[in-house]
């Protein structure tokens, strides 16, 4: 593997500045609330339900735009082409469904709880230092400032992410030879491929997987996810909340488009020397860090901006989760037993839970750093396994009055089993790159004969030949392989559909039951 210059002082300064600004915003919100003297626990978790639409919309956008997008989407654009932009259509469908079917229910109920990545060390930045610095700062400003601190730091972080993508796109395009040259190379390399309407569910990305499967994945994130619901119910009115979702949608499209475009620029830059195939990087997630360090090797500070771009999303996602978990704990588990406690003590307990969950997030991040998952597929697969069945239960409860408790519990059990089965099966028996539709890339000018590929690349190619069991017929075996080869974007849809179908069948069989 070729050596690439690591971080210099200017890069550390840019990264540290991003963390410092985030901390300052959190402290400002904490001091502002303390000065007012009438803060409540509801203020801590929902910003007093008085937040304007634009910052809430940007916060909604930033919440799931973590390192998953910064690292994962450019790599997918590089390997699968510009058709990934159809994800924006799936996101738009989700925004409409959330705004007009799910948001009104949660907003009018006036509730707080809906239940009433890491970056590998290509940069030379110590992983543990970055993990703990990010985690500690995120925990501090979330604990002190509550929802208002989370939302306003999200606004700052979304600006950092967009700035990072813009810098990478402009400089990369100039090095390739201009926008027309990038488009010419991308077109010749089959990356301008918006005409992919293949109905084969094994294809990783097609119009159908990105719109149908993608909309279901995003709906599970925005329609019923505590972290997102807690944001839009912090708006002043229901109309403001719907406007926030519109702002969120515009932000999502900007970020996804920017990330995918950077992937196309990377392909044009590496047209004759794919870093993954040539063994210069060990996984697709490292395309973007490698590219940034190479093109900005003589521009100190810009690699730091990229790292800030990646970790801005991570801060947003972590702070969202910390505040949401603390809210659920307080509202669903403790508040019914603390009705005689003063608001000051409730806020203190709320901050305590935020701190504890922050420590928990740091611990989980440290443990997950040992896993070797691709960030985008790993994130969406986990979301499909966890949130897909949850979305199905909410659909049953909100839109099918005949649903009873046996139906709901049966549905979520079956849905969880289906999604978990798909996730585990696709991990043990991953599809070949040909089946997924990975587009060709080249190594003709890498300066050596590419005899073997990196380890993870070879494993993906070879694992399909592992037999399930020596006594299983070939046709059955291939049928299971085809089932496991289904695009990960369909996992959530499969889980949600299973929950609704099984829930309705069991509900009608068991009949009406009293809710207790």
DSSP 340: T
Q: What is the span of the domain harbouring residue 52?
A: 9-370
**Does the residue 236 lie in any domain?**
yes
Q: Is the pLDDT of residue 270 over 90?
A: yes
**Is this model's pTM higher than 0.95 or not?**
no
- Give residues with Cβ within 8 angstroms of 250, minimum separation 6: 57
Region 126-144 average pLDDT? 57
d(CA 338, CA 336) in angstroms, rounded, equals 6
Which has more pLDDT, 496 or 39? 496
Q: Is 216 part of a structural domain of the chain? A: yes
Phi-psi category of residue 454: left, alpha or beta, with phi > 0 → left and psi -120 to 50 → alpha: beta
Q: Identify any residues that bridge with 51 across adjacent strands, giving them in sequence order.
A: 235
The whole-angstrom separation of Cα 323 and Cα 249 is 22
pLDDT (0 to 100) of residue 188: 93
43-47, 52-56, 212-216: least confidently modelled range: 43-47
Reading the block at residue 231, the tokens are: 């944001």
Is 451 a domain residue? no
Q: 234 or 371: whose pLDDT is higher?
A: 234
- Quick check: 505 pLDDT over 90? yes
Angle at 108 between CA 104 and CA 114, to 5 degrees: 80
Residue 23 forms part of a structural domain: yes
CA distance 7 to 304: 7
Residue 452, Cβ density class (10 Å: 0-12 exposed, 13-18 middle, ≥19 buried): exposed
User: Tokens 């073997």 sit at which residue?
Assistant: 452
Burial class (CB in 10 A: 0-12, 13-18, 19+), 326: buried
**Top-confidence residue, 124 or 284:** 284
**37 burial class (0-12, 13-18, 19+ CB within 10 angstroms)?**
exposed
Average pLDDT, integer, range 166-188: 94
Which residues contact residue 44 at a Cβ distance below 8 angstroms, ignoring those fewer than 6 apart? Answer: 146, 147, 347, 350, 351
Stated length of the chain: 516
In whole angstroms, give the CA distance from residue 454 to residue 285. 14
pLDDT of residue 190: 92
Q: What is the CATH number of the domain that holds 87?
A: 1.20.1730.10
Nearest by Cα to 265 from 364, 177, 327? 177
The domain tally of the chain equals: 1
Residue 121 has pLDDT above 50, yes or no: no
Given a cut of 80, is residue 455 above it in pLDDT?
no
| 58, part of any domain | yes
Q: Which of 288-292, 365-369, 412-416 has the lowest mean pLDDT?
A: 365-369
Residue 126 pLDDT: 52
Q: Over 80: is that where the pLDDT of 329 sits?
A: no
Query: What ranges in 64-122 are assigned the alpha helix state H?
Result: 67, 73-80, 87-97, 103-109
Band (pLDDT 50/70/90 cuts) for residue 515 is very low
Q: Which of 483, 488, 494 is nearest to 419 (CA)?
A: 494
Q: Can you tell me the distance from the alpha carbon of 276 to that of 450, in angstroms, rounded to the nearest whole number?
A: 11
CB 332 within 8 A of CB 230: no
In a domain, 462, yes or no: no
Mean pLDDT of the 265-294 span: 91
Helix %, strand %, coil % for the chain, to 5?
Answer: 75, 0, 25
Confidence class of residue 450 from pLDDT cuts 50, 70 and 90?
Answer: very low
Instruction: Assign 442 to helix, strand or coil.
Output: coil
Q: For residue 194, give both structure tokens.
A: 């918006």
Rounded to whole angstroms, the Cα distance separating 86 from 79 reads: 15
Question: How far apart are the C-alpha atoms of 512 and 401, rounded to whole Å?
Answer: 10
CA 37, CA 32: separation in Å to the nearest integer? 9
Q: Indicate the pLDDT class of residue 137, thresholds 50, 70 and 90.
A: low
Please report the beta strands in 264-312, taking only residues with DSSP state E, as ranges in sequence order.
none
* Alpha-carbon gap, residue 496 to 388, rounded angstroms: 5
* pLDDT level of residue 69 (50, 70, 90 thresholds): confident
pLDDT value, residue 338: 60
Name the residue among 164, 127, 128, 149 with its Cα closest to residue 21.
Answer: 149
Report the pLDDT averaged over residues 304-311.
Answer: 70
Is residue 448 domain-resident? no
Looking at the DSSP bridge assignments, the partners of residue 235 are: 51
Residues 151-170: what's their mean pLDDT? 83
At 210 the pLDDT is 93
> Is residue 182 situated within a structural domain?
yes
**d(Cα 208, Cα 214) in Å, to the nearest integer?**
9
| Rg of the chain on CA atoms, in Å | 23
Which of 80-84, 117-121, 135-139, 442-446 has maximum average pLDDT? 80-84
Segment among 26-30, 95-99, 262-266, 489-493 with least mean pLDDT:
26-30
> Does 317 or 345 have the greater pLDDT score?
345
**Residue 30: pLDDT band with limits 50, 70, 90:** low
Q: What are phi and psi of 235, to 5 degrees?
A: -75, 165
Q: Mean pLDDT throughout 7-36?
A: 73
Three-state SS sequence of 376-440: HHHHHHHHHHHHHHHHHHHHHHHHCCCCCHHHHHHHHHHHHHHHHHHHHHHHHCCCCHHHHCCCC
* Average pLDDT of the chain to the nearest whole number: 75
In the chain, count H helices and then E strands: 22, 0
Which residue stretches of 177-237 are H helix?
179-188, 207-208, 214-222, 226-232
CA pair distance 217, 495, nearest whole angstrom: 10
Q: What is the pLDDT of residues 461-476, one digit of tens each?
A: 333 333 334 444 444 4
Phi, psi (deg, nearest 5) at residue 149: -65, -40
For residue 105, pLDDT over 90 is answered with no
Express each pLDDT in 205-241 by its tens digit. Answer: 999 999 999 999 888 888 877 777 777 777 888 888 8
Name the residue with higher pLDDT: 419 or 189: 189
Q: What is the rounded end-to-end Cα distance, in angstroms, of the chain?
A: 63
């Amino acid at each position: 593997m070729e050596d690439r210059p690591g971080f210099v002082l200017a890069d550390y300064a840019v990264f540290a500045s991003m963390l410092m600004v985030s901390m300052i915003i959190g402290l400002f919100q904490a001091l502002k609330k303390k000065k007012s003297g009438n803060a409540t626990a509801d203020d801590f978790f929902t910003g007093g339900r008085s937040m304007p639409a634009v910052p809430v919309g940007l916060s909604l956008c930033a919440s799931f735009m973590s390192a998953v997008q910064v690292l994962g989407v450019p790599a997918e654009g590089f390997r699968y082409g510009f058709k990934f932009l159809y994800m924006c259509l799936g996101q738009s469908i989700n925004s409409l469904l959330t705004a007009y079917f799910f948001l009104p229910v949660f907003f009018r109920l006036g509730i707080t709880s809906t239940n009433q990545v890491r970056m590998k060390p290509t940069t030379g930045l110590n992983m543990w230092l970055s993990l703990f610095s990010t985690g500690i700062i995120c925990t501090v400003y979330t604990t002190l400032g509550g929802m208002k601190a989370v939302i306003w730091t999200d606004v700052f972080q979304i600006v950092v992410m967009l700035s990072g993508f813009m810098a990478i796109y402009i400089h990369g395009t100039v090095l390739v030879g201009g926008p027309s040259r990038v488009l010419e190379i991308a077109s010749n390399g089959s990356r301008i491929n918006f005409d992919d309407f293949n109905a084969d569910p094994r294809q990783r990305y097609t119009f159908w997987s990105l719109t149908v499967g993608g909309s279901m994945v995003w709906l599970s994130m925005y329609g019923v996810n505590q972290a997102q619901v807690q944001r839009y119910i912090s708006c002043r009115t229901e109309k403001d909340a719907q406007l926030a979702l519109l702002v969120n949608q515009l932000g999502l499209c900007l970020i996804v488009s920017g990330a995918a475009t950077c992937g196309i620029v990377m392909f044009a830059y590496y047209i004759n020397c794919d870093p993954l195939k040539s063994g210069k990087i060990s996984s697709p997630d490292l395309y973007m860090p490698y590219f940034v360090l190479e093109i900005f090797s003589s521009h100190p500070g810009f690699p730091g901006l990229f790292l800030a771009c990646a970790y801005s999303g991570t801060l947003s996602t972590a702070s969202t989760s910390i505040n949401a978990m603390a809210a659920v704990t307080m509202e669903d588990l403790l508040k019914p037993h603390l009705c005689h406690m003063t608001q000051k003590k409730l806020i203190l307990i709320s901050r305590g839970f935020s701190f504890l969950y922050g420590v928990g997030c740091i611990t989980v991040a440290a443990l997950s750093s040992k896993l070797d998952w691709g960030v985008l597929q790993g994130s969406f697969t986990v979301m499909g396994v966890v949130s897909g069945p949850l979305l199905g239960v909410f659909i049953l409860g909100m839109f099918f009055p005949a649903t009873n408790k046996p139906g709901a519990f049966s549905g979520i059990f079956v849905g969880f089993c289906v999604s978990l089965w798909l996730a585990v099966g696709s991990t043990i028996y991953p599809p070949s790159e040909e089946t997924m539709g990975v587009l060709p890339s080249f190594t003709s000018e890498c300066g050596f004969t590419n005899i073997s590929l990196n380890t993870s690349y070879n494993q993906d190619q070879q694992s399909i030949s592992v037999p399930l069991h020596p006594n299983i017929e070939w046709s059955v075996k291939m049928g299971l392989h085809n089932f496991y080869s289904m695009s990960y974007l369909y996992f959530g849809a499969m889980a949600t559909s299973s929950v609704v179908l099984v829930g309705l069948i069991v509900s009608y069989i068991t009949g009406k039951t009293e809710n207790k």
